Structure 1
């Protein structure tokens, strides 16, 4: 190959690599955007229809940790399917979903206070005044835990408007 052809071939490789990298970043960003731009009233996995990624909402109160629910212990509530670790947790939830279900449908209350809906991660959570809150980021959880009243006042004011834009 001539030096000129080698130079041109090198650019093609660089362009192909750049295009591949760009495609990967666009795909990764769109996946994050799809998770962040959820339009359901309760955060659900868009492929399975399972609420809060299959985590047991009652376990946060009873076991004080995030526990994956089991397929054997499911219950429909609010148009979505919830999973539980055992029959007792399922019974508690069915009797009082307004207590055990995550507030703001599992959306991050910090973002709700800002006027946007961003799906909470079941691994980042806080129980405040006997209510469960899920957060999209660990930093949001820490900020909320430091001053929940400040964020809840704003989130509670904005939630009714945001909720109207979400699919029932």
Structure 2
């Protein structure tokens, strides 16, 4: 319980008699404690809800900034990531076969590809969240052309366009090492426009 003298100082100018009367009743004191407890509880719920919705990203894997997506959160412009491995070519996926990974939606050309991806999404998802591999090696996040691709050491790499792809292929081993180091730093940063 608060002594009435400390409460009167808190109310600055309300006077000792008013503050004594205000808190003399244990009922009023317990309701004010309940009010402060409920405010604390609501603050906790609000903070939890924000972090659960991804508005306060807690790790790279949960941040949509780490994945190259369009406004509807579609990755690789709708191309099937599994087809790069199984058919060795870009194949446009279908909205009939989808899967979610790291906040992005991936399309697939078949239920089989969808199932393969769901069983091992990190194996089939493009490196660097689907951003241009060459750009990431230079500490930038560039969009990609799904036709500019390579599978190297069982990992999918995408590039900005065919010209950048040719340059990247000429130095891919060094550029992959550079990009791996830079990705840890830039993965969660927003794309500069």
Scaled by the length of structure 1, the TM-score of the pair is 0.72
Measure, in 1, the Cα distance between the counterparts of 2:114 and 2:188: 28
Aligned to 2:147: 123
Aligned to 2:85: 61
| 8 Å Cα contact 2:147/2:161 also seen in 1 | no
Scaled by the length of structure 2, the TM-score of the pair is 0.63
**Structure 2: segments with no counterpart, 5+ residues:** 1-63
**Structure 1: segments with no counterpart, 5+ residues:** 1-38
DSSP 3-state at the match of 1:164: coil
Residue number among 8, 24, 42 corresponding to 2:67 in the alignment: 42
Measure, in 2, the Cα distance between the counterparts of 1:166 and 1:58: 27
Distance apart, 1:61 and its partner CA:
0.6
In the alignment of these two chains, the number of paired residues is 128
Which of these two proteins has the greater Rg computed from alpha carbons? 2
- Poorly superposed stretches of 4+, deviation over 6 Å: none
Measure, in 1, the Cα distance between the counterparts of 2:148 and 2:123: 18
| 8 Å Cα contact 2:79/2:146 also seen in 1 | yes
Question: What are the within-5 Å matches in structure 2 for residues 103-118 of structure 1?
Answer: 103-118=127-142
Distance apart, 1:137 and its partner CA:
1.9
RMSD: 1.5
- Larger relative contact order, structure 1 or 2 (CA cutoff 8 Å, min sep 6): 1
Aligned to 1:83: 107
DSSP 3-state at the match of 2:187: helix
